[in-house]
Structure formats: C-alpha cells, structure tokens
Amino acid sequence: MFEQLFQSIDQKINLTEEEKTFTKTLFIPKKIRKKQWLLQEGDVAKYLAFVEKGLLRSYTVGRNGTEHIVQFAFEGYWIGDQYSFLTGEPSIFNIDAIEDCELLLLSKQSQDELLDKMPQFERFFRLLLQNNLIATQKRMAGTLGRSAEQRYMDLMVTCPTTINTRVPLHMLASYLGITPETLSRIRRQISQRKKAS
C-alpha cells in the first residue's frame, strides 16, 4: 500500500530500506468510501493524508450553500488543512471522497518524529510546501483576469484525462468558479470549433 508514497519520496530524497521500513510505522493506512468524510468544517485536522488510490476534494460551503472546491487530490497527492493541522484551530474546509480511497494518514506527532529521526524529510516537506505555494499562486493568478474558457483550457493542459474522466461536471465547474451550465456551454463551443477546423 506504500508504493505511491515511496515513488513520491524517491523523487525528492533518498531513503535506505531500513529508513523506508521505519517511515511505514509512522503512517496509518485508512480506507474510506465514496462520499465519506475525511475532515469536516469545524473539526481540527489531526492528519495530513497521502492518496495511494482514489480521489478526494477539499472545499468550503458559502452562506447560500454553494460549494467552492479548492483542491482535488488524486493518487500521489497530499491533502489536508495545513493551517488547522499546524495550529490546532478548527478547519474551515470539508474533505470528502469522490471515489473509494486508500490513504496513508500522518499525524503531527508522527511528522515531528519523522523530521527528528530523518532530517532529510525536512527537504521533502519543504519541497512539497514550495510546490503547493507555486500551484496556489498560479491558480490565483490564473483566476484573476482570465476568462472561464481560458481557466478551463489551462486545466485541460494540466491534467486532461484525469479531470475529464473522474471528476463530475458540477464539481469541475465549482473548482473553476463557474456554473455547470457555463461549463457545458464552454465545452460545447470548444467542441464545435474543433469540428469546424
């Protein structure tokens, strides 16, 4: 169950087999079913989750009940509320499964032990945070001043097959900050232009 995790780790740092064996002891394997919660708004995030298999989403709910999806997490991704995890404050996010999932959970205590016993994990988590910051800034910049169609096209370049085959249309629209009707119209227009050319 640790294949994806060690592929991710091996891309950033080197671990011996003994270190990998120790690392496994600090993670809690967990399976959750489609539509099951990993975290609910108002609860404290006790874990960061690494996705070995499946798909989750992180989102907030507006006053009018509208969901605002901020992240999808596929195989090889981490998901959690970093702020709540680090501060112990209640989370403002909901995280639930879009598909049945196999996760590896890491508690704050286990993360601290990992960093204490294997300093190379400082580099691993720093690189994860840097990549997350870059992705967040790109997403913010892409949202400001770009049309809904441009945002959709950018997303299709980033992960076309996964998004189109695994994420329901209404969730994709929420992530892009548009209505499902607008997304359907955009997809139809793109399809018509492709046929015409």
What residues pair up with 29 in beta bridges, in sequence order?
104
Question: What is the average pLDDT across 125-139?
Answer: 90
Residues 77 and 116 in one domain: yes
Residues 113 and 44 in one domain: yes
**Same-domain check for residues 170 and 117:** no
Report pTM.
Answer: 0.91
Q: What is the CATH number of the domain that holds 7?
A: 2.60.120.10
153 and 89, same domain (yes or no): no
Tell whether 63 and 151 lie within a shared domain. Answer: no
Residue 45, pLDDT score: 98
Residue 47, pLDDT > 80, answer yes
DSSP code for 116: H
Q: Where is average pLDDT lowest: 13-17, 27-31, 154-158? A: 154-158
Is residue 134 classed exposed, middle or buried when 0-12, 13-18 and 19+ CB atoms within 10 A define those classes?
exposed
Residue 127 shares a structural domain with residue 155: no
In angstroms, the CA 34 to CA 56 distance is 9
Residues 137, 166 within the same domain: no
Q: How far apart are CA 119 and CA 115, in angstroms?
A: 5
Mean per-residue pLDDT, 140-148: 81
Claim to verify: residue 126 and residue 156 sit in the same structural domain: no
Lowest mean pLDDT among 47-56, 107-116, 123-132, 144-153: 144-153
Given its phi and psi angles, is residue 146 left (phi above 0), alpha (psi -120 to 50 degrees) or beta? Answer: beta
Angular region, 80: left φ>0, alpha ψ -120 to 50, beta rest: left
CA torsion 142-191-161-37 (nearest 10°) is: 70
**What total number of domains does the chain contain?**
2
Question: Do 98 and 158 reside in the same domain of the chain?
Answer: no
Same domain for 132 and 158, yes or no, is no
Q: What range defines the domain where residue 132 resides?
A: 3-144
Per-residue pLDDT at 144 exceeds 90 = no
Q: How confident is the model at residue 83 (pLDDT cuts 50, 70, 90)?
A: very high
Residue 160 pLDDT grade (very low, low, confident, very high; cuts 50, 70, 90): low
Pairing of strands 47-53, 94-97: unpaired
- Residue 189, both tokens: 């227009």
pLDDT higher than threshold 80 for residue 163: no
